Amino acid sequence: MVKVAVIGAGKMGISHISILGAHPDVDLVGICDTSKMVTDFLQKYSKIDCYSDYKKMISETRPDAVFVAVPTKFHYAMIRDILTEGIHVFGEKPLCLSPEEGKELVALAEKKKLINQVGYHNKFIGTFREVKRLLNEQAIGEVYHFTAEAYGPVVTMKKKATWRSDPKEGGGCLLDYASHVIDLVNDTLSPVQKVRSSLLKSIYSDNVEDSVYSLLELKNGLSGVLQVNWSDDTYRKMSTSITIQGTKGKIISDANELKVFFREEPNQEGYEKGWNVKNITDFQENVDFYLRGEEYSAQIDYFIDAVQGKVPNSINNFQSAWLTDNAISLIRANAN
């Protein structure tokens, strides 16, 4: 059994707690949150010891691994403390508010030889994994352009301020929504290396951007467009998609559907010349316990497996999350 503690029982934290609670290899030993309504509930029904001080929780429960699901501005200090104690970490995204902080955590996790993972769950979605596989096989020839997008209805009117509306605390569309898309680009294509031009537009928010438009250049020389807007209520929920154009074809994928066009008969099994439309049902494997989407359970299963030494710590490790933090910082510097 892996002893796990969770810091932060908000939207992501409570979802992690539920999935961990159903995991056969996990013993949930402690939860830390500042809301008494939430901790009283967990204490009473889930019978898990709850704390309001994470240091006290760690010293009393001695977990093997800790999940950190608190506002981004707290990530650096908390994760540093946890790693220093010799404990594995699953952190929510983004990793840190600055690449300097993130770099330190990458080095510390490496030095201490601890499992480290960040919650970029798109990498556990079957359609996006298939995109990566097709690109690795150079199925659409030489890739010459990409468009990576996400839209959704998070901020659709002027509202009172919370941590999500303060850039110093990790608020804004760039850190919240766009980070997922950038991470997907980094992973499926190549890491963002240079930002040609960027626009950060506020629509309803006073202090942060509600949309991000950017021309990106990747390490492998490929360039493309990032377009993200979290104030678009023509979408029911967050919708992330990527379009990739190559000399032999084109890929359009979101979390539900993969469309691939081949100009000639391809070598890939299960695909033919012209349009191919496949759905998530063709790729996604069942999880043991489902909440909100297979990817949320799959990423936790992967982390727990990594802690037990069953899989390498290669998907969504701090190093890959740092590449995303770095791209975010490049985009912000370019826009200002």
Partner 1 sequence: MERILFGDNQFFAVNHISDEKSRAQAMKFKSDEAIMKVLDDAIDCGIHTFMCTTHDRIAHICDIIRANPEKYKHFKIFPCMPYAHKYANAVTELGISGTLKQYVPGNFFGSLFKGGMAYLSKDYESIMELMIDAEMKMFRGLETPVIFLQNVITDLLIGLKATEILVAFHDYIKKKYNAEAGFITMNMSRLVNILEEAGVKNPIICASINKAGFRMSGGKEAYEECLRTHEFRAVAMQVLGGGAISPKEAIEYVCELPNIASILFGASSKGNIESTASYIRHFDALKKQAAAIV
User: Which is nearest to 67 in space by CA: 112, 125, 2?
Assistant: 2
Structure tokens at 220: 């492998």
Closer of 207 and 279 to partner 1 (Cβ): 279
- Beta carbon nearer to partner 1, 2 or 280: 280
The two three-digit tokens of residue 82, written as one number: 């946890």
CB of 55 to partner 1, least distance (A): 22
DSSP state of 121: G
For residues 102 and 108, give the distance between their C-alpha atoms in angstroms, rounded to a whole number. Answer: 10
Which residues sit at the interface with partner 1, rule CB under 8 A? 9-11, 14-15, 17-22, 35-38, 40-42, 44-47, 153-154, 159, 162, 164, 234, 236-237, 239, 241, 254-257, 279-282, 284, 286-292, 294
Cβ 78 to partner 1, closest distance in Å? 18
Lookup result for tokens 């707690």: 17
Residue 332 to residue 336: CA distance in whole angstroms = 6
Q: Which is nearer to partner 1, 106 or 298 (CB)?
A: 298
- DSSP H stretches of helix in the chain: 11-21, 36-41, 54-61, 75-84, 99-112, 126-136, 173, 179-188, 294-307, 318-335
Q: Which is nearer to partner 1, 215 or 238 (CB)?
A: 238
CB of 256 to partner 1, least distance (A): 5
The H or E element spanning position 32 is strand 26-32
Min dist CB 273 to partner 1, Å, is 22
Q: How far is the CB of 250 from partner 1 (least distance, A)?
A: 15
Considering the complex, state which of residue 16 and residue 75 has its C-beta at the smaller distance from partner 1.
Answer: 16
